[in-house]
Structure 1
Amino acid sequence: MQAIADYFASIPSSHRAMILAGGIAFFWIWESAVPLFKHEYRKWPHALVNFFFTFTTIVVNFALAFLLLRASEWAIAREFGLLFWLPAMPLLLSTLVGLLMLDLISAWLAHFVSHHVPPLWKLHLIHHSDTHVDTTTANRHHPGESVVRFAFTALAVVVTGAPLWMVFLYQAMSVVLSQFNHANISLPAWLDRAMAWVIVSPDMHKVHHHYVLPHTDSNFGNIFSVWDRMFGTFRTIDRARLVYGIDTHMDPKEHTGIGALLTMPFRPKPQPTRPPAE
């Protein structure tokens, strides 16, 4: 565990970029070989739109990265945060506690709030409007939402008292797990159910991308599934019933172009509609 801590304490930016790009490439190949759904869409045009928002997410996080450094330094200098308030623990256990808390605040809570605060939901719509969910959907976030999520991450660092290496480890895990649970891959149902007791599995997260309530407001987790089970937001649905998208934006003109997606939060909300297949 110490070797992992040492690596992430000085991880080069190029390595962090390789984790992001390598994950996309790996799951892209996997979902092309064994897809859950054979989407009738042009994969590259769809991916390029999502890559644009991946790029804006990277820009926002890079521009604000110094705030995470300051937040971690502030907490450590004052011995503030959960990791300082709990009894001394072995490094492996304290890392697990830290990762769980970072995931609770920067992922589950940020996601939950984005669904229940109307201005934030308008930003989050861009992510939910994808009707062809695949691994590139993982980082399809409006730049405004990227700022909101960053703020929750900074809050999580302070509340947890996490050292910067743990933050970088969490972010690497978060990127890969998000690419994994968005990927259009087919796992054996028994394996997916077993995984969902510990981490957010593909089937578990795709319930969240079903186009209507109450499924949209469920399964908010990113890495660990424990928070959804603990807070009563865990829900299942047969994968054969899944319809991706959001019922207010099922028209392709609403969700397939970069311009339409950037302006989506600022346009009047259309009336809910049935998906084309229904």
Structure 2
Amino acid sequence: MEILLNYFENIPSHHRVIIIISGLTFFWIIEGLIPLYKFSYKKWRHAIPNLFFNLTLMLVNLPLAFMLLKTADWVIENNFGLINWLPEMPLWFYGILGLICLDFFGAYLPHLIEHKVKPLWMIHLVHHTDHKVDTTTANRHHPIESVIRFFFTLFGVFVVGAPIGLVMLYQSLSVVATQFNHANIQLPKKLDKLLSYIIVSPDMHKVHHHYVMPYTDSNYGNIFSIWDRLLGTYKELDTDKIVYGVDVFPDEKKNGNIIELLKQPFQKYQK
């Protein structure tokens, strides 16, 4: 754990980009070998709007990273935050506890709120209007949502009291985890179920992308499944019954157009 934290404390920006691209490439290849659904689509064409939003995510996060650094430095200097107020513990446990807490504030909590607050839901809809969920869907977020999620993460760093090495490790794991659980891959059912007791597995997250309630409002987690299980938002649904998209924005052609997606949060949806 010490080696990991030391590396991520000083991780160069281009290494973070390499992690994003490597994850996408890896799961893109695996999808071709063991697909969950055999989509009848041109994969590259489908990926274009999703990769555009992956790019906007990086453009939002990289320049704002200094705020994470300043906040992380402050909490350590002032011994502030949840994990700093606990009794002394082994470094590995400190790291895992910090990651679990950051996952709550940086992923689970904003995701839950986005589903419950109408204006935020309209912004988050860009993510849900993908009719062919695969690994490129992972960071298909409107730029406004990228900003919102960044500040939730910043708030999490402050409350948790995380050092910058742990913050950068969390962000890297978060990217790879979301690429994994969105990937159109078919794992053995028993393996997927076993994984879902600890992390968000592909089958678990696919339920969240079912087009109608109550499944859309479930399985909000990103890295760890603990928060969905503890807070009662965990649901299961056979993957054969899952239909992607949202019923209020059913036009697949528009939902694959970058301009339409940028305008989507400001449009009226079909009832």
**What TM-score, normalized by structure 2, do the two folds share?**
0.99
1:53 is the counterpart of 2:92: no
In the alignment, the residues of structure 2 paired with residue 266 and residue 8 of structure 1 have an alpha-carbon distance, to the nearest angstrom, of 38
Calculate percent identity across the aligned residue pairs. 53
Q: Distance in 1 between matches of 2:182 and 2:145?
A: 18
Do 2:110 and 2:152's aligned partners in 1 also have CA atoms closer than 8 Å?
yes
- In the alignment, which residue of structure 2 is the partner of 1:175? 175
Extract unaligned runs of 5+ from structure 1. Answer: 272-278
> After the TM superposition, which residues 36-75 of structure 1 pair with which residues of structure 2 at under 5 Å, given as runs?
36-75=36-75
- How many angstroms does 1:135 deviate by? 0.2
Q: Offset of 1:129 from its aligned partner?
A: 0.3
Preserved contact between residue 219 and residue 228 of structure 1 (Cα < 8 Å): yes
TM-score, length-normalised on structure 1?
0.96
Amino acid of the structure 2 residue aligned with 1:60: V
1:26-84: per-residue Cα shift (whole Å, max 9, x none)? 00000011100011111101111100000000000012111111211221222110111
One-letter identity of the residue aligned with 1:130: D
Contact residue 253 and residue 260 of structure 1 kept, 8 A: no
Aligned equivalents of 1:117, 1:209: Cα separation in 2: 18
Give the whole-Å Cα distance in 1 for the aligned partners of 2:55 and 2:4.
27
The residue that corresponds to 2:200 in the other structure is 200
In structure 2, what is the equivalent of residue 276 of structure 1? none
Deviations along 1:180-230, one digit per CA (max 9) or x if unpaired, are 000000000000000000000000000000000000000000000000000
Please state how far the C-alpha of 1:3 moved relative to its aligned partner.
Answer: 1.1
Superposition pairs of residues 121-132 of structure 1, within 5 angstroms? 121-132=121-132
Q: Could you report, residue by residue, the CA deviation over 1:207-264 in whole angstroms, capped at 9, with x for unpaired residues?
A: 0000000000000000000000000000000010010011111112331100000000
- Which letter does structure 2 place at the counterpart of 1:256? G
Partners of 1:82 and 1:35 lie apart in 2 by: 41
The amino acid across from 2:58 in the alignment is I
**Aligned match of 2:254:** 254
Q: Name the residue aligned to 1:275.
A: none
Residue 106 of structure 1 deviates from its aligned partner by 0.6
* Distance of 1:222 and 1:237 partners within structure 2: 18
Give the deviation of 1:10 after TM superposition: 1.2
Q: Does residue 1:135 correspond to 2:135, yes or no?
A: yes
SS in 2 for 1:40: coil
Gaps in structure 2 of 5+ consecutive residues: none
Contact 1:6 1:165 in 2 (8 A): yes
For 2:53 and 2:3, the matched residues in 1 are separated by: 33
Query: Partner of 1:274 in structure 2?
Result: none
